[in-house]
Amino acid sequence: MRTRTELRYVLDASVVLAYLQRERGYERVRSALDAGAAISAVNIAEVYAKVVARGLSVDQIAVRLGAIGLEVVAFDEAHARKSAALYSKARSLGLSLGDRACLALGHRLGLPVLTADQAWKRMPGINVELIR
């Protein structure tokens, strides 16, 4: 496992799903994973839920996720406070708790956030990069 200083990106659930399903932009996600990437525990829960809804078991997806070297960061009180601080602006853009958890982690770690969601580019003070 990488140390926090070796991390280069924070990933949204949408890009992890794009990577797992080899959707457009997955190569960009692979590059981020190779460089060192983290994800909030809230967002990895979203990934599990989406994949389980498609018929895979939690154990099947856990094996795949474990193989990609993604660091899962706990959603602690500091993370929750930062997520709440983003609420007003995020709400006007239609962003969810999961979206705010991802953005808050990127801000907290000082890392760019990778997503497939265009609306995130309008979040002030957070470095957002799109995969497509």
Residue range 68-81, pLDDT digits in tens: 999 999 999 999 99
- The CATH number of residue 96's host domain is 3.40.50.1010
Outline where DSSP puts E strands in 34-120. Answer: 37-40, 71-73, 113-115
Q: What is the Cα–Cα distance from 121 to 57, expressed in whole angstroms?
A: 33
Q: What average pLDDT does this structure show over 13-33?
A: 97
Q: State whether the Cα torsion 6-4-12-112 is positive or negative.
A: negative
Mean pLDDT score of the chain? 94
**Does residue 22 carry a pLDDT above 60?**
yes
Output the CA–CA distances (angstroms, integers) from residue 21 to 16, 28, 55, 59, 61, in the order listed: 9, 13, 14, 17, 12
Domain count, the chain: 1
The parent domain of residue 39 ranges over 4-130
